[in-house]
Amino acid sequence: MTTYFNEMYDGASVRAPYARLGDWTAAMPADRRLEKQAEAEALFRRIGITFAVYGEGGDPDRLIPFDMFPRVFTNSEWGKLERGIKQRARALNAFLVDVYGRAEIVRAGRIPAKLVFQNEAYERAVAGFIPPKGVYSHIVGIDIVRTGPTDFFVLEDNCRTPSGVSYMLESREMMMRMFPELFRENRIEPVDRYPEVLRRTLASVAPAKCDREPTVVILTPGHFNSAYYEHSFLADLMGVELVEGADLFVDGGFVWMRTTEGPKRVDVIYRRIDDAFIDPLCFRPDSMLGVPGLMDVYRSGGVSICSAPGAGVADDKAIYTYVPEMVRFYLGEEPILQNVPTWKCGAADDLKHVLANLGDLVVKEVHGSGGYGMLVGPKSTKAEIEEFRERIKADPENYIAQPTLALSTTPTFVEEGIAPRHVDLRPYCLVGERIELVPGGLTRVALREGSLVVNSSQGGGVKDTWVLAE
């Protein structure tokens, strides 16, 4: 039977970071816990913190499940994570500048050319272009799992438009409102400066032609998008305009925003739409979400797009396997955070191993996301495994496989009381003139007993993440 690292309990004793939560838990009777849970749900519903699940009938908006039991890191644990995350963000951005330039890492034989240049996320429209400050990915969401007291692994990188930061901020707000005594008794690093740091990061990569205080906007696909709440939430907190494609136009080598006082020039666009929809003159001609001519202005230095078109080639699940090599190649350092061991099904020997051990592995589509397009072998039926086997054999290069990690657990409030549930962590690394993180991130929790899938689209919830001050 697999044993899992419990982040709060070492046998019967409480681990040091959670020392003050043991008494808090014991002092909370079941009726008060249910009352507080109902209060949290009512607040989330009133604020409108929902997410959309596509492909389902009826109203797709759901309330994000929130668990009141916080996850806690010591200052030294966070210090290691922060160093590793910043190192990884530097390497990923160096890789992006390189593969859209001289591609030295490919020339050196460290990464196969096919994986880069035949990748559907590689955008030839930006080949030869270096964005302001040499930054392609300005918001890097790095998914991290824990398997032991000092064992952390990177599960995947998100270099395009990682979502979920609103849940990080609202989870903290919710906990401070419901349990102020916990924040008086524990010295917890704040996360509420994230919008300020994000705005500063975006302003720091203003284009060459910007000769004044940069005007920053958030470009959203609109209110039908699953993350629209987050787009409007961040715009409000940063004090910037939330715009759709129809609100912007190109004229005279610049991008302009329509306002009641006439056109206003835009310098930095934090885009939350996919590459394919950014500019119908450059990418998909049927896109109604983007801005015609935007890419010409971008390439001429008239506007910055964050994250840059083409950044997605760095977070492909096949490219992921080479990130430790990027750290060594570009930075001359050893990786602080390790990858999860990964088999590439496109390689004959790896494919043979994966097909022989499907029942023990997690298999993912190279371009999949949100917990879709994956097989969790130990939790699947024989029929599901055999069906997936045929899919892999039909297109092996479209899949990678990883061992079923013994993800750590944290105490979680469930119907019967408190029980351990599996968690992961997504910190948000902001890259501009400086590389910065707020201390914490989005902890996602698999609320179903035994489940290892933490995605909200698959039944997962969120927790507040504490980093204790020294």
Q: Are strands 241-243 and 264-266 parallel, antiparallel or unpaired?
A: unpaired
Tell me: pLDDT of 357 over 80.
yes
Q: For residue 72, give its domain range.
A: 9-339+405-467
Tens of pLDDT, residue by residue over 240-252, are 999 999 999 999 9
Tens of pLDDT, residue by residue over 257-268, are 999 999 999 999
In this prediction, residue 409 carries a pLDDT of 95
Which own/partner contact pairs does 251-255 have at CB distance under 8 Å and 24+ positions apart? 253/209, 253/297, 253/300, 253/302, 254/209, 254/297, 254/302, 254/303, 255/291, 255/294, 255/297, 255/302, 255/303
What's the CATH number where 387 sits? 3.30.1490.270
Q: What is the mean pLDDT of residues 401-406?
A: 89
In a domain, 306, yes or no: yes
Say whether both 145 and 252 belong to one domain: yes
In a domain, 129, yes or no: yes
Say whether both 376 and 426 belong to one domain: no
Of the candidate ranges 62-66, 237-241, 285-289, 371-375, the one whose mean pLDDT is the lowest: 371-375
Take residue 47 and report the two structure tokens written for it.
């604020």
Neighbours of 66 (CB within 10 A): 22
Tell me: pLDDT of 215 over 80.
yes
Q: Which residue has the higher pLDDT, 369 or 419?
A: 419
Tens of pLDDT, residue by residue over 120-136, are 999 999 999 999 999 99
* Region label for 222, one of left (φ > 0), alpha (ψ between -120 and 50) or beta (otherwise): left
Say whether both 388 and 454 belong to one domain: no
Q: What is the mean pLDDT of residues 202-222?
A: 96
Say whether both 209 and 353 belong to one domain: no
Take residue 33 and report the two structure tokens written for it.
């816990």
Tell me: pLDDT of 359 over 80.
yes
SS (H, E, C) 352-416: HHHHHCHHHEEEEECCCCCCCCEEEHHHCCHHHHHHHHHHHHHCHHHEEEEECCCCCEEEEEECC
Take residue 104 and report the two structure tokens written for it.
């030295």
**Which of 137, 143, 142 is closest to 96 using CA atoms?**
137
Say whether both 267 and 298 belong to one domain: yes
Take residue 227 and report the two structure tokens written for it.
């993350």
In a domain, 192, yes or no: yes
Residues facing 390 on adjacent strands: none
Domain end among 382, 403, 424: 403
Take residue 130 and report the two structure tokens written for it.
């270096």
In a domain, 328, yes or no: yes
Tell me: pLDDT of 371 over 60.
no
Say whether both 208 and 283 belong to one domain: yes
In a domain, 1, yes or no: no
Say whether both 228 and 376 belong to one domain: no
Is residue 154 within 8 A of residue 143, CB to CB? The reply is yes
In a domain, 293, yes or no: yes
The count of domains in the chain is: 2
Domain end among 352, 377, 403: 403
Of the candidate ranges 49-53, 85-89, 167-171, 412-416, the one whose mean pLDDT is the lowest: 49-53
Mean of the per-residue pLDDT values of the chain: 92
Say whether both 378 and 254 belong to one domain: no
Amino acid identity of residue 323, one-letter, is: V
Say whether both 303 and 421 belong to one domain: yes
In this prediction, residue 377 carries a pLDDT of 85
In a domain, 4, yes or no: no
Say whether both 370 and 411 belong to one domain: no
Q: Where are the beta strands (DSSP E) in 180-220?
A: 216-219
In a domain, 2, yes or no: no
Tell me: pLDDT of 416 over 90.
no
Tell me: pLDDT of 19 over 80.
yes
Chain position carrying tokens 């039991």:
69
Say whether both 260 and 383 belong to one domain: no
Of the candidate ranges 161-170, 247-256, 266-275, 294-303, the one whose mean pLDDT is the lowest: 161-170
For residue 54, name the pLDDT band (cuts at 50, 70, 90): very low
Tell me: pLDDT of 238 over 90.
yes
Distance CA 106, CA 350 (A): 22
Domain end among 380, 403, 426: 403
Say whether both 360 and 418 belong to one domain: no
